[in-house]
Chain A
Amino acid sequence: MTRDERPLRAVPPAMWIALAATLAAQIGWRSLQGPAGAGAADLPPPPSAQALRLASFGEPPALARLAMLYLQAFDYGGANLTPYRRLDYARLIGWLDAILELDPRSEYPLFAAARIYAEVPDEARSRLMLEFIYRQFFVDPDRRWPWLAHAALLAKHRLKDLPLARRYAAAIDRHTHAASVPLWAKQMEIFILEDMNELQAARILLGGLLESGAIRDPAEARFLRQRLEELERRRR
């Protein structure tokens, strides 16, 4: 793959200058613009699962995960102190619903719902997300119980809503049947009723999840340990 060409010195000096000037103009122009940050208000209405399936061109697992990265970028670098706090949660849940329908076996949407979006310090938003997790749990209880277990802890310790936490814990007990679901998860209701603080409960939950093999992704384990350390710092 070769072609005959004249030496570089054959190019007139004016062309060198023109090339350098246009390149400098391009770099200058782009540096003036700066990176585009996605704000909370920018989250568009969710597409239907069918539209997403059409756009995936037969690659739903890849599009589902790319869509999660797209969602994750919204409001994360926003001007507010708490990321995701200003997101339109109705739209957000619509997006998560559509992504889960696109790839029901992906754990990413429920992980984000339980560990990120439900943990915002806004009770109304948190409740919306917890109900989303509760609703989605029934689609595949044996696979989705870890997220509802976390939702039960959030309901008890963050929302101080014991009946809600017990409802979630009871659902895990009644609707999980697989042998892979650990005993402590099935006895979550007792665990909720025990007089322990959030840190102790979170330690037991994370330890149990790691031991049962429910968490396999190193990035997820790292993220959860960081959350636990943050909780420890807050309680000191």
Chain B
Amino acid sequence: MPAAILARLILLEARRSGLPWLVAGGLAAALGLAAFLSQVALTEGRALQLALLAALLRAGAVFLVAAQVAASTMRELNDKGLELALSFPLARSTQYLGRLAGFFTLGALLAAAFAAPLLLFAPPAAVAQWGLSLACELALVAAAALFFAMSLASPVPALAATAALYLLARSMSAMQAIASGPLAEHSLAHELARHAIDGVALIVPSLDRVTRSEWLLYGAPDGRSYALGVGGLLVYAALLAAAGIFDFQRRTA
């Protein structure tokens, strides 16, 4: 199955490029920093350690996946590996989805590795929900990074675009709350800005509703809101994959 071979190559490249060492280093750094800060806390030391660890691991996992996808795609473009792959008797969609499947698997492995240490501080059910949500979030990030790396064909703009989309998606609800807050002035310009923000919110995923450290601290969310949040990630990852394949079909080489 050609797509599975491509996915396996992606995982092999990640292993050989030293990603497991980066994951181990990231875990050690996050655990160390969270433990240090919890020592300074006068109360809620364990809660601080857990909240900070979850936030750091989430950000670290997202960075590692985005950087790995962008670097791997750039290497393939620069080494003319993509040109070679396009000469194979394989559908372009199969090639794109094979790569994406490899990055999805990489994200799932990273999510499992980063969720494991949280079992020391939080109930297993909450950690499992957090980990599954992180895996879906990483799938979205991988799809975004692959789309931008393929279409922008340069590592820095690809990473910047992925980071911008990610940060915007995580702060969209707060921006909407500020725009529609009681202190906001009622003028035409403000109304236009508010509608513009609402419009942008429709085309970005709501990443502030998923992989929340609150689930680990105060208990898992209700099934409906969890399913809506995680389902939204998968829908957006599918949209990015479709956009990526669309762009890839038009590629000359």
B146 contacts the other chain (Cβ, under 8 Å)? no
Tally A residues with Cβ within 8 Å of B.
30
CB distance from A171 to the nearest CB of B (A): 23
Contact of B42 with A219 in the complex, beta carbons under 8 Å: yes
* A contacts with B: majority SS: helix
Interface residue ranges of B152-203 to A (CB < 8 Å)? 167, 170-171, 173-175, 177-178, 181
Interface residue ranges of B207-221 to A (CB < 8 Å)? 207-209, 212-214, 217-218
Contact of B48 with A65 in the complex, beta carbons under 8 Å: yes
What residues of A have a CB within 8 angstroms of the CB of B54 in the complex?
Answer: 59, 62
Question: What interface size band does chain B fall in?
Answer: 35 or more
Candidates A57, A68, A112; contact of B167 at CB < 8 Å: A57
Complex Cα distance A69/B217, Å?
18
Contact of A217 with B52 in the complex, beta carbons under 8 Å: no
Complex Cα distance A111/B40, Å?
15
- Decide: A108 near B55, CB < 8 A? Known: A50-B181, A61-B217: no
Contact of B212 with A58 in the complex, beta carbons under 8 Å: yes
What residues of B have a CB within 8 angstroms of the CB of A105 in the complex?
Answer: 217-218
B47 contacts the other chain (Cβ, under 8 Å)? yes
Choose among A72, A111, A219 the residue with the greatest number of B CB atoms under 10 Å from its CB.
Answer: A219
What residues of A have a CB within 8 angstroms of the CB of B47 in the complex?
Answer: 61, 65, 106
Residues of chain A having any CB pair with chain B under 8 Å: 1, 50-51, 53-54, 56-62, 65-66, 68-69, 72, 105-108, 111-112, 115-116, 217-220, 223
11 contacts between A and B (CB under 8 A): A50-B178, A56-B174, A58-B173, A59-B54, A65-B48, A65-B52, A105-B218, A107-B43, A111-B44, A219-B42, A220-B44
Residues of chain B having any CB pair with chain A under 8 Å: 16-18, 21, 37, 40-48, 51-52, 54-55, 58, 167, 170-171, 173-175, 177-178, 181, 207-209, 212-214, 217-218
